[in-house]
Amino acid sequence: MCCWSITASMANSNDMPLYKDPHASVELRVADLLKRMTLKEKIGQMIQIERSIANSSNIQEYFFGSILSGGGSVPAENASPTDWMDMVDGFQKAALGTRLGIPLIYGIDAVHGHNNVYGATIFPHNVGLGCTRDPDLVKRIGAATALEVRGTGIPYVFAPCIAVCRHPSWGRCYESYGEDPDLVRKMTEVIPGLQGEPSGLGIPSVASQLNVAATAKHFVGDGGTVNGIDENNTVSSYKRLVSTHMVGYFDAIAKGVSTIMVSYSSWKGKRMHSNRILISHVLKKQLQFKGFVISDWEGLDRITTPWGVNYTNSVQLGVNAGLDMIMVPFNYTTFQESMFSLLESKSILMKRVNDAVRRILRVKFTMGLFEYPYADRSLASMVGAQAHRDLAREAVRKSLVLLKNGKSSHSPLLPLDKKASKILVAGSHANDIGNQCGGWTITWQGNSGNITKGTTILEAISSTVSKETKIVFEAAPNANFAKDKGFAYAVVVVGEIPYAEYVGDNLNLTIPEGGIETIQNVCSSVQCVVVLISGRPLVVEPYLSMMDALVAAWLPGTEGNGVSDVLFGDYPFQGKLSRTWFRRADQLPMNVGDKKYDPLFPYGFGLSYSY
C-alpha cells in the first residue's frame, strides 16, 4: 500500500489531479495536493477534534484532518460494530464532500485491544505482556487488535505506549511493558502487528486495509517523572534520557510507525509539548522520523500553569516545537484564530505549516486512505472474534508470574486439584470483569462491574473443576467464614480497582483495605492461593507468610480462563517479572541495575511448578 513507484508521467490522461492517482508516488501526490490547498484547509488538517462535537457542517467548514474518540466517547451505549461504522463513515462522507475531498483519519485509543468498544477482546495490559518476554505474542496481539479496530471502521490507533516506567506509583505504569529499556524496545514488535510489515527505510507504512496506523507514545521520558507523578518533571541527563527513555523510539521509527504522540511531562522543567530541540531536532532530524507528531489531549493548554493561560502563546510554542496535528479536542475555533494571527505576525512561518501538513498527508496516502476511505463492512465480525479471545487467553497464561508456591519447598499448593470436593473462591475481583480489565476499558478510568463481555476468574474456575466439586463464592468473607467448613483450599482474588492516568497515581501502593481483610480472613483458616489483580507491584510482604501461594495476574482482561488454565496445571507458569517487586514503598524508585537493590522479588523472578 505504501510503495507505489509509478511516476507522475504515467498518470492517466483524463486530467485527474495527480494527488488522486494511486499509481503516482506518495511524495508526488503529497506535493500536488499541498500546492492546491488554501491556508484554511492546511490549518484544518492540523486539527483533531472529539467526535462528540463533530458534524457535517463543521467538518466541511473547517476541513478537519482528524476526529477521535476520547476514552469512553462512543456513538451509543454498548454500540455495535455497525453503529461505529455508520458514525465514522458519516464523518468521512462529509470530509469527502469538501472541495479537495481530503479524507479524515479517525483515531481511538486501543491500548489493550479495542478497549473503548463493548464486546471487543480485551488483552492483558502491557505490564503483564512484558512478563511474557514474547515479542511474537505482542505482534500477534497487534494484528488482532488492528482487525477489531478495522471492524468498527477506524483506521488509526493511539498505541502502543512504549514508556519505560521507572516508578510504579505512576498511574499509567501498567501501560509500560516494564522498567528495562531493552525489554520495551523488543516489545515494539507490536507495531508491525498493528501496521503490517514495514516497507523499510523507516518510512511510515500501513500494509493493508486489515492494518491500522499506530502511534508510539509518549515522547519522551513520561515514565521517569519525579516520584512517578503523572505529567510531572523528568530529571536526568540527556544521555540517561536517551539510554533509558528513547531507545524504544529508535526501533519504532525503524519499523515505520506512522505517528508519535508527545508526552504531557517535562524534561528538566520544560514541557515536552514545547520542546523544539527534542521534537524537531532530535526526533525529526536526527532520528529521521517521517510521520506526523501529534499532541496529547489538550496538550497545548497544559504547557502553562494554570492550564490554558495565554493560549495563543501556547499554540506558537507547540507548533514551532514541531507538533503537526493538534488534539484540540474541543476549542478548534480558537486554535484556528490563533494560527491565522501567528502566521500573519510571522511568529509561525508558513514552512512550518507546510511541513506539518506534508507529514499528515504522507501518512494518509501511505495507509491508502484516499483509495479506501470507508469502512469494510465485512470486518464487523472481527470484533470479539473467538480466535482473538483464544489469543488473549494465551497471553494471560504466559503473563502470570508465580511468586510463591507453598510455605516450604516441600509443600506446594499449586497446581490446584480439580477434583476437590469443596473449594472457596473469595475476593472482590473474583467475579468482576471490570476489575479484571482495569483502566482504559470501555471508559477512560475503567469501572468495576459487568462492563463488557468476557469470562471472570470465578466463571473460569467453575468451568475447569469437576462437576462434583462444590464451589462457594464470597466477595467479602468475614473472619470466621472459612473456618472448619471443609474447604480443600481457597482461591482469593483481590487487587486494585480500575484507574488510569493521573487518578491512578499512588505513593502508598498498598492492597486496598478490603483485599487485605479478605486475605487475612481466608488464609488464616484454609490453604489459599492469592491471585493479585493489579497494574503494578503492591506491598505484600506483611501478608506473604499467610499465603500458601501468590500469583501476580496483573490486569488480565476479558479472558479469565487464562488464569484457571495455569492455576490447575493445564499449562505451566512462564511469566517473569517485568518490574522489580519492592518490599516497602519507601524503597522506591528501585530498578534492576541500581547499586542499592534489595527487592522482595527481583526483576526477572518467576517460579515454575518444577523447582
* Dihedral angle over CA of 379, 380, 381, 385, nearest 10: 90
* Annotation marks residue 501 as catalytic: yes
Cβ contact 228:585 at 8 Å: no
Q: β-strand 47-50 against 66-69: which pairing, if any?
A: parallel
Phi, psi of 327 (to 5 degrees): -75, 90
Report the alpha-carbon distance of residue 12 to residue 15 in Å, rounded: 7
* Dihedral angle over CA of 441, 446, 452, 454, nearest 10: 70
Burial state string for 445-462 with b = 16 or more CB within 10 A and e = fewer than 16: bbbeeebbebbbbbbbbb
* Annotation marks residue 179 as catalytic: no
Cβ contact 380:557 at 8 Å: no
Q: Which of the residues 180, 296, 324, 496 is marked catalytic?
A: 296
Could you give the strand order of the β-sheet that contains 470-474, starting from the edge strand earlier in sequence? Answer: 401-405, 549-554, 528-533, 489-495, 422-426, 470-474
Q: β-strand 549-554 against 401-405: which pairing, if any?
A: antiparallel
Which grid coordinates belong to 32?
500536488
Q: Which of the residues 175, 230, 394, 501 is marked catalytic?
A: 501
Q: Quick count: other Cβ atoms within 10 Å of Cβ 237?
A: 9
Phi, psi of 512 (to 5 degrees): -50, 145
Report the alpha-carbon distance of residue 374 to residue 376 in Å, rounded: 7
Cβ contact 560:456 at 8 Å: yes
Report the alpha-carbon distance of residue 611 to residue 609 in Å, rounded: 6
Report the alpha-carbon distance of residue 560 to residue 57 in Å, rounded: 45
Residues with catalytic function: 296, 501
